[in-house]
Structure 1
């Protein structure tokens, strides 16, 4: 079960970069949890990982990347590189979600996904986050952090009701649905049109 340490909206961090860095650590921990879970526990752990990845990446796309694109030197190239990395990971995540955690290739694919997500996080930290800190005020980063927390508080944490088996239907189609919902909430929190 998710506790206060795996629910990003309850985190104490208010600075968007501190919040996203803490989430990178949470994502690594959730990958560990999914890898080590028994077959019976794997679906629930994977559901929480999918949720966090979906809202985390959407928050970056809606809040961090637009700022980086317009405000930091070489921002467009930095963001384009991050979006290409995110796209590859999203495709694999969607395939894994559709196949479910009982798929014979699930753990192999999980390791591939983990390597891609961790490489992406390192690139963000090195090429994007440091520059954003240098080009923003604390108040700006807190405002961006509020948008991230709002999206995460609204994202669904469980499979859709009516699915016969959470193991067979772990968030069927919902990585994209979660990203869409998080995007709408972020835009509303930041005063943008959905």
Structure 2
């Protein structure tokens, strides 16, 4: 990894499958960080987790899922199942973000989110990424990794349930990403 492991778009992996699996490990580590944080540190740790989940899922929706739909046998069904999981996780993440890390029941709801995200990641790795690796060559996976990192660099930094397709991400993702990033700067300046 690079010197900034919190930014998935700066990771060194050049194979899209390896990159996504490494990001799944990073997400698991960040859940640990939030759960183990003191009440004063939980907010910043949760903000980092929210950002990672948001940019990771958006990039998958823009780069990986459309490719799998077309290039992988049974890809439509595989992607539809993953998108349903993503939407459920985004809705829960949005609820947690709106309530804030000091809300009553936050850690219990975070545990539910972790369970959903972990199950989703396992399903992606087993049903989507394995088939993607088989259906592509190293050059294609390198190109997809570059595209994934570029998408992550400009992706929204907060969950937006209902924006789970490449088309919706392209149509509304850029304005949403700009608004998210401005909101992030303002929040950071107010701390």
Question: TM-score scaled to structure 1, two decimals?
Answer: 0.79
Q: Is 2:93 aligned against 1:121?
A: no
Gaps of 5+ in 2: 164-168, 176-191
Matches within 5 A, 1:65-76: 65-76=65-76
Higher percent of residues as helix: 2
Cα separation, partners in 2 of 1:143 and 1:78, compared to 1, 3 Å? same
Q: 1:15·1:145 contact (CA, 8 Å) conserved in 2?
A: yes
CA distance in structure 2 between the aligned counterparts of 1:175 and 1:117, rounded to whole angstroms: 13
In 1, distance between residues paired with 2:88 and 2:156? 23
Contact 2:58-2:152 at 8 Å conserved across structures: no
TM-score using structure 2 length: 0.80
**Per-residue deviation, 1:155:** 4.8
Tell whether the 8 Å contact from 1:59 to 1:183 is kept in structure 2 after alignment: no
Q: Distance in 2 between matches of 1:81 and 1:154?
A: 25
User: How far did residue 9 of structure 1 move?
Assistant: 2.0
CA distance in 2, matches of 1:120, 1:90: 12
Residue equivalent to 1:63: 63
Please list the CA deviations of residues 74-127 of structure 1 after superposition, one character each: whole Å capped at 9, or x if unmatched: 111111110111111011001001100011111000000000000000000000
Q: Number of matched residues?
A: 166
What aligned pairs does 1:143-158 form with structure 2 within 5 A after superposition?
Answer: 143-155=143-155
Confirm whether residue 46 of structure 1 aligns to residue 30 of structure 2. no
RMSD over aligned CA atoms reads 2.1
Distance 1:127 1:116 in 2: 16
The alignment partner of 1:176 has SS state of coil
Is 21-30 or 68-77 further displaced after alignment? 68-77
